[in-house]
Structure 1
Amino acid sequence: MQFISTRGQSEPLEFSAAVEAGLAPDGGLYLPDSLPDISSKLSEWERYDYARVCFEFMRLFATDYDESELQRIIGQSYKKFADKRIAPLVQLDEKTHVLELFHGPTLAFKDFALQLLGNLYEAQIKRTGSSINVLGATSGDTGSAAIHGLLGKEGVNIFILYPDGRVSPLQERQMTTTGATNVYPISITGSFDDGQAAVKDLFGDLEFKAEYHLSAINSINLARILAQCVYYIWAWLRLPEAARANLEFVVPTGNFGNVLAGWLTQQMGLPVSSFRVATNQNDILYRLFTTGTYAVDDVKPSLAPSMDIQIASNFERFLFYKVGQNPEKVRELMKQMRETGKVDFDAFDPDSFTTSRSEDGDIERLIKEVHERYNYIVDPHTACGFQTLDPDKTSVILSTASPAKFPDVIESAIGIHPTVDSLEKLKTYPIVTYPLPADKEAIRAFIKEHVSSGEKQEEKS
């Protein structure tokens, strides 16, 4: 299988090369040249455990990998999950289920993709003999999951930008207390969007990208999206047949990547009625799906900081399909977004999407209501998913993080201070961070300073 850019001006790549590249040279995002039909495979996959389902799905895309190697990589990627089910599906009542995606090493859904991506990078380094410098921006959980997916991997440096003061204290500690000499947590002034813009600018500098062998860990990397597809399939397979008939996945999202993964499985034949885009007060996606206008606004810090995003990078992948896979039209619209921050879509069809939004006051109320009704505790992001559920549908709400990562919000809402031992230990470790402006030249200079000349020469050879 080949992977093509949404902007149509880069050569198609095989899976491993597209994963290593992250962002296409023309600034676009990679997608499969065609989507496989998985509908006939679902009954067989129902017998398998999570790692096997992941392997059966990923082998459809990673066609340049030896299958035994791919199976080993995937098996290794899910060994550090605390629950043997990997992604347990918890039923709260007849119509409401929660898919718990927080049992990985950093207690967030990003572990599903980033444990795998770390192992794919390791395999790629062994295959090519070249080191990799991983660069990404985070609004909270991506950074810690990326770091912990790459800890102990030879030939990797990792540079993570995060908005100073706009992630939770425990999210910051997960990034800044590893003690690893190849990890560089960079606290930037501004928002996640500012960091993401700097990252994209640096990937757009093809000479710099090649010289320093940059690779992306944000959800602009296609491996992230494909790995996240798997837990939608897994959840569907765990549901009783009667519950599958009118099913809505409810997805707290800011960057659109998590819900895009679900939508892609529907396009591949997974029978899902709809997907609920659940936003916080940074509601660009809510406004898009209710008005047909994509308009960037200022980021407002919230109780659900991982969703404090106004520029949804993965919308470009969805847009590619919405304009009939026309890369010229994608380039035109992305240019308009970049120059004006706004695009009006005439007669925008929300397709399989519904949407909801939650202010900070709603988040605390929803945490309290869920606890009182079900004796179940949800983190602030998952709480957004409980806003205005459709009573006529089976709802599977994706629980994106452990409530223990946001103890102050939980305590304010219900008087309980959730803890996890692994997080409590972080409070005893010294924080190491590198403050920088959200400026591509400052970040470029920092990377040059911290990547040795020996590594560069190895990459050039």
Structure 2
Amino acid sequence: MKYISTRDAQATPVTFTDILLGGLAPDGGLYLPEEYPQLDAATLERWRGVLDTGGYAALAAEVVALFVDDIPVEDLREITARAYSTPKFASAQIVPVTDLEPGVKIAHLSEGPTAAFKDMAMQLLGELFEYVLRKRGETINILGATSGDTGSSAEYAMRGRAGIRVFMLTPAGRMTPFQQAQMFGLEDPNIFNIALDGVFDDCQDVVKAVSGDAAFKAEYHIGAVNSINWARLMAQVVYYVSSWIRATDSPEDTVSFSVPTGNFGDICAGHIARSMGVPIDRLIVATNENDVLDEFFRTGEYRVRTSAETLATSSPSMDISKASNFERFIFDVVGRDGARTADLFGSQVPAGGFSLSADPAFPQVAKDYGFASGSSTHADRLATIRHCWETTGVLVDPHTADGVKVARDYLAEHPDAAPVVCLETALPVKFADTIREAIGDEPEAMTPERFRGILDADRHVTDLPNDVETVKGFIRDSIANVQV
């Protein structure tokens, strides 16, 4: 299995371990496999047995092995066994799937150490990074941006690991107190939290600018854990497979997935799983008021908003108006034309986006790739959280509520559609203010024992302006002063 950049017209292939530590391709594009592995019914049915007998870690090794041919399979099995284990994950199933209401299920992706779906990829990434760095005798300085959960998931996965430092940019004042406490409360010397004066898109732009400086990136061994890193998506493909298995009885059964998304990473993994042959009927894009992606699937217009136009909402991890992983999907849509993808994303996106509405192929895009979409508001989130709690006793976080709301809308329009699995984003404890507003209370059970007292920890964070050179200087100084 080899990988190519979305912007490389020559499609120059590289190996998995070559791209694991780097994030962006040198030309600014994102890596994807030269072609997606194809699954047949026999393989899917065999995987059902693997999940039943060997558990999630064994299934993960099977899926990951399709994408990684430069790490021995026996090593991959050990890596996934370490990544997906209890008590690191609260459930032995790792990703349980339960019924919410008729036609709607929830895939519980928040059983990991930081109570967010990002743990599903980050725990594997931490093991892969340490494995490859040890083999090569190298170090890495991870630079990332977070709108809420990526940061804590990355830091918990990388804390204390030899040869790794983590520099995580957060939008100052834009995360919940719980999310801030999870990150800023860490005292590990290899973890550096930076509160940037801006919104998430500004943080993401700084990461891309630093990563785009080839000389700086090479000198300081800059790597990435954001969803621009292919290994993140590869890990997320696994839970689409496991959730399909847990929600069905046979290879002929299909389900749809409703996915809360702002950066298009989580649902891009679903696009890859569907392209591989996992029986997915629809991939339902669920956005909040920052509805760039919903607008695209309705109109063909990809209209990037400015920082000032990006709203601060009660589902803050989706307060994104420039979806990094969208480039991977569009690369497939335009027939894997690297030159056209480079034209669309290399210059026009910073200026405001692009339009495919006049493209004769666009009306078929949603149908051919299985996409539907919808959006949700603050009032919708409150109503959904309240209804779920009062009618089923299930408490969902605001992002998952967006997914449930959009799933309900889809089923109302398509009453004969396949069942919908909503991908849980986080545990509601991370969004206590919104939960109190929705149900008038904060149930004691909302805070798992492992998170009690987290808000009382000291904070370790550095405030910096929204300036690339200042961030580079901080990284440079920190590397010089802290050995790993």
TM range (shorter): over 0.9
8 Å Cα contact 2:388/2:394 also seen in 1? yes
- 1:76 is matched with 82
Task: Summarize deviations over 1:315-343 as a string: whole Å, max 9, x none.
Answer: 00001100001101101111343342121
Q: 1:372 to 1:323 in 2, by over 3 A?
A: same
Q: What secondary structure sits across from 2:66 in the alignment?
A: coil
Specify which of 398, 401, 405 is matched with residue 380 of structure 1.
Answer: 398
> 1:421 offset after TM fit, Å?
2.6
User: Structure 1: which amino acid aligns with 2:437?
Assistant: S
Offset of residue 373 of structure 1? 2.4
Alignment of 1:143 with 2:151, yes or no, is: yes
Q: Please identify, of 163-172 and 7-16, the stretch whose mean Cα deviation from structure 2 is larger.
A: 7-16
Map of 1:6 onto structure 2 = 6
Aligned twin of 2:433: 408
Distance 1:430 1:71 in 2: 38
User: Contact 2:177 / 2:455 at 8 angstroms: preserved in 1?
Assistant: no
Contact kept? 2:45, 2:250, Cα under 8 Å: no
Is the contact between residue 280 and residue 307 of structure 1 (CA under 8 Å) also seen in structure 2?
A: yes
- What's the counterpart of residue 48 of structure 2? 46
* Residue identity opposite 2:128 in structure 1: L
Is 2:475 the partner of 1:444? no
Matching residue of 1:395:
420
Could you tell me whether the CA contact under 8 Å between 1:389 and 1:395 is conserved in 2? no
Per the TM alignment, residue 96 of structure 1 is displaced from its structure 2 partner at its CA by: 1.2
- SS of structure 1 residue aligned to 2:173: coil
In structure 2, the residue matched to 1:128 is: 136
Conserved 8 A contact 2:286-2:375 = yes
**Which deviates the most, 431-440 or 107-116?**
431-440
Q: Which residue of 1 aligns with 2:63?
A: 57
Which amino acid in the other structure matches residue 14 of structure 1? Answer: T
- Does 1:311 pair with 2:285? no
1:381-418, CA deviations, whole angstroms, 9 ceiling, x for partnerless residues?
00001221413321100011001111111111012312
SS at the partner of 1:97? strand
| CA–CA distance in structure 2, aligned partners of residues 145 and 384 of structure 1 | 21
User: C-alpha distance in 2, partners of 1:162/1:92?
Assistant: 33
TM-score of the two chains, using structure 1 as the length reference: 0.96
Superposition pairs for residues 291-370 of structure 1, below 5 Å?
A: 291-297=299-305, 298-345=309-356, 346-347=358-359, 348=362, 349-350=365-366, 351-370=369-388
In structure 2, how many angstroms separate the alpha carbons of the residues matched to 1:137 and 1:423? 23
1:180 aligns with 2:198: no
Task: Report if aligned partners of 1:86, 1:103 keep a CA contact under 8 Å in 2.
Answer: yes
CA distance in 2, matches of 1:392, 1:437: 52
Q: What does the per-residue CA deviation read over 1:5-29, in whole Å, with 9 as the maximum and x for residues that have no partner? A: 0011684221111111111010000
| Long gaps (5+) in structure 1 | none
Specify whether residues 413 and 244 from structure 1 end up closer, same or farther in structure 2 by C-alpha distance, changes over 3 A only: farther
CA drift of 1:308 comes to: 0.4
Aligned partner of 1:368: which letter?
A: R
Residue pair 1:236, 1:244 contacting (<8 A) in 2 also: no
Task: Give CA-to-partner distance per residue, 1:149-189, whole Å, 9 cap, x none.
Answer: 00120111100000011111111111111111110010011
The residue matched to 2:127 in structure 1 has which SS?
Answer: helix
Would you say how many aligned residue pairs link Structure 1 and Structure 2? 456
Cα shift readout 1:285-336 (whole Å, capped 9, x = no counterpart): 0111111100012210000000000000000000110000110110111134
- The offset of 1:53, in angstroms, is 0.8
Q: Alignment partner of 1:405: what SS?
A: helix
TM-score (norm 2): 0.92
Aligned positions of 1:254-293 closer than 5 A? 254-293=262-301
Q: What amino acid does structure 2 have at the position aligned with 1:43?
A: E
Q: Distance in 2 between matches of 1:11 and 1:36?
A: 19
Deviation at 1:453, TM superposition (A): 7.7
- Residue identity over aligned pairs, in percent, reads 40
**CA distance in structure 2 between the aligned counterparts of 1:186 and 1:171, rounded to whole angstroms:** 14
Question: Residues 12 and 240 (structure 1 numbering): CA distance in 2 closer, same or farther, change over 3 Å?
Answer: closer
What amino acid does structure 1 have at the position aligned with 2:426? Answer: A
Conservation of the 8 A alpha-carbon contact between 1:336 and 1:343: no
Structure 2 residue ranges without an equivalent (≥5): none
Structure 2: distance between partners of 1:229 and 1:167: 27
| Distance (whole Å) between structure 2 residues aligned to residue 14 and residue 334 of structure 1 | 24
Q: Which amino acid aligns with 1:392?
A: D
Deviation, 1:360, is 1.0
